[in-house]
A and B are shown apart, each in its own frame.
Chain A
Amino acid sequence: MTLNKERVQEIIAEILDVEIEEVLENANFVEDLEADSLKALELLAALEREFGIRISENKLGKLRSLNETYDVLVEIMC
Chain B
Amino acid sequence: MSFSEITNILPHRYPFLLIDRIEKYEEDERIICIKNVTINESFFVGHFPEKPVMPGVLIVEAAAQAGILFFGKSNGLDSENEQEEYLLTSVKVNFIKSVVPGDTLWIEIIPIKLISSAGIFKFTCKVDEEIVSKGEFVFAVK
The residues of A with any CB-CB pair to B shorter than 8 Å are 36, 38-39, 41-42, 44-45, 48, 57, 60
Contact = CB atoms under 8 A, between A and B. Distances in A.
Contacts of A57: 115-116
Of listed A38, A45, A48, residue having the most chain B CB within 10 A = A38
Contacts of A42: 90, 120, 138
Nearest to B138: A38
Contacts of B113: 41, 44-45, 48
B39 interface: no
Contacts of A45: 112-113, 120
B123 to A, nearest CB: 16
Q: Is the interface of A mostly helix, strand, loop or mixed?
A: helix
Contacts of B115: 41, 57, 60
8 contacts: A36-B89, A38-B89, A38-B138, A41-B113, A41-B118, A41-B120, A42-B138, A44-B113
Interface of B: 89-90, 112-113, 115-116, 118, 120, 138, 140
Nearest to A40: B118
A11 B42 CA distance: 42
A57 B114 CA distance: 9
A41 B89 CA distance: 11
A41 B138 contact: yes
Of listed A41, A57, A60, residue having the most chain B CB within 10 A = A41
